[in-house]
Amino acid sequence: MKRTTLSVGIPSYNEANTIATVLSTVLCEPLPPGCELVSTVISDCSTDATPEILERFTIARPDFIKVIHHTFRTGLNLAINEIFENANTDFLLYINADSLPAAGSISSLVESMLSDESVGAVSAAMIPVPVGQSFVERAGVFGAGVFQRLRESSRSFHGRMFMIRGKLARKVRLPVDAIEQDAFISCSIREMGFRVEYLRSAICYYSPPSTLRDYVLPNRLYRIGTQTWKQQHPKWEKSGMLRDAASINQNTIKAILGEAASDPSGALVWTFLKIVEKFYPTRDLERRYQSKPVAQSTKVLRSKLRHTSTTSTLSANTAREYPPNQSS
């Protein structure tokens, strides 16, 4: 049987509350026969206890856990680029540090990739798990249900948890200020002649936004990203790849009505927050993303990275503790 290698990439910024659980779950997940997890890369620039937690993991599993530390926050896009650059395996599992794969989901993604060589990447279903019952969380759950319906109808791609072929990941480079990372990765893969798929049987759990700011900002960024992309990537817009990747199609209203039928109270809260969102002050954010010079900011950040990043692959001379003790 041919050996299949798998690596895991996790971008991390102040994820002390979740990173240990995510890593423990991923590292203990059974894989299909012939598939071996050979490396885990974490791009980290945290200021909380995340580095200490990651250090315990590298001590416990020094054979393949690699942590890239930065002394300043580089942003999600460059963290993704670092993870992609280190994808020296057949497949790369990318997962957010605040997300958790359901049992068997990683195996399902691997099997999906193995079954069709024309597929360049497969994304998992996103299932929100609210901590409380606030208005914002209710709206977040409803919105997730709408996007779930859209993804099932259009087979679109999203980036909270996905698997990509390593040879493709190494060729994808996100601009430093690209807002719609999902769409950029999806379009890049399609441009290389591969398909992107959505796998309903692979599930990724996450906590929906709990504050109004956390709810509004992603929605605003989504709209800004869609507008700027039409200018920055006219060939993708013209070909329809950008529209498909961003799940903007004629099924949107149908998805909203379908979800409203199953969750009418959630629909009311979601509609109310949509109105509130229009008056929420985020002009500073919009100006920052709409005016940032891409080439210059990318060059400056790369220059800083060469002088400030360090790689941690610690030896196992100290006591091995796995999963790491989270109480200290």
Burial 292-310 (b: 16+ CB within 10 A, else e): eeeeeebeebeeebeeebe
Find the range with the poorest average confidence among 10-24, 141-155, 298-312. 298-312
Identify the weakest region by mean pLDDT among 262-276, 295-309, 312-326.
312-326
- Which pLDDT value is given to residue 242? 53
pLDDT per residue as tens digits for the range 210-234: 888 888 887 777 766 666 666 666 6
Measured in whole angstroms, how far is the alpha carbon of residue 43 from the centre of its chain? Answer: 13
103, 104, 110, 111 alpha-carbon torsion, rounded to 10°: -160
Low-confidence winner among 30-34, 90-94, 288-292, 297-301 (lowest mean pLDDT)? 297-301
Identify whether the C-beta of residue 180 lies closer than 8 Å to the C-beta of residue 226: yes
Instruction: Kindly list the structural domains of the chain, giving each domain's residue range(s) and its CATH number in brackets, ordered by start.
Output: 4-312 (3.90.550.10)
Give the pLDDT score at 163: 96
What distances in angstroms separate CA 8 from CA 55, 73, 95, 248, 291, one per listed residue?
17, 21, 8, 30, 34
Which residues on neighbouring strands pair with residue 37, listed in sequence order? 6
Six-digit token pair at 19? 């990173």
Q: How far apart are CA 208 and CA 211, in angstroms?
A: 9
- Average pLDDT (182-205) is 90
What pLDDT is attached to residue 310? 44
Average pLDDT for residues 182-194, to the nearest whole number? 89
- Inform me whether the pLDDT recorded for 294 exceeds 60: no
Q: How confident is the model at residue 189 (pLDDT cuts 50, 70, 90)?
A: very high
Which tens digits make up the pLDDT trace of 99-133?
999 999 999 999 999 999 999 999 999 899 887 77
Q: Which amino acid is at 224?
A: I
Structure-block tokens of residue 17 = 């509350």
Q: Sheet containing 161-165: give its strands across.
A: 99-101, 195-206, 119-128, 161-165, 91-95, 4-12, 35-44, 65-69, 310-312
Q: Kindly report, residue by residue over 7-41, the tens digit of the pLDDT.
A: 999 988 888 888 888 888 988 888 898 888 887 87
